[in-house]
Structure 1
């Protein structure tokens, strides 16, 4: 069967860019939601108050940035 499709010859740079964007938004969005959730739960649902929630949110954010950032040489 003759076909115009030849495996491995397509330019997939747009698909790769979309995949990387989606992964980045998912990763950093999840971190932001986790920090916001920690702040709001400690502020409104415990007697710890705003300051404890804010400090916890900052700690979660800092640890998350350290863990989730791109490592050098991690490309495939």
Structure 2
């Protein structure tokens, strides 16, 4: 039974796709949570107000988008 195993012969495309999906969701979900938390903290814990807090949250989200986006060809 162990002799039937040949290292590197197994198709792993589904595992690779699942891994890339998980990493992508974790990355973008973390950015969304960070922007939301900054917005809420500034709105409720400082005198910034809603509009100022929303502006900072949007700036964080846009800056994070440009930092976290993938450059070049997408992963297969």
TM-score, scaled relative to structure 2: 0.91
Q: Does 1:63 align with 2:63?
A: yes
The alignment yields a C-alpha RMSD, in angstroms, of 1.7
Q: Could you tell me how far 1:68 is from its partner in structure 2?
A: 0.4
Paired residue for 1:24? 24
Q: Could you tell me how far 1:2 is from its partner in structure 2?
A: 5.3
CA distance 1:74–1:13, shift in 2 (3 Å): closer
CA distance 1:2–1:46, shift in 2 (3 Å): closer
Unaligned residue ranges in structure 2 (runs of 5+): none
> CA separation in 2, counterparts of 1:2 and 1:32?
46
Which structure: greater helix fraction? 2
Describe the superposition over 1:29-67 as per-residue Cα deviations: whole angstroms up to 9, x where unpaired: 000000100110000011111111100010001100100
Moved over 6 A (4+): none
What secondary structure sits across from 1:3 in the alignment?
A: helix
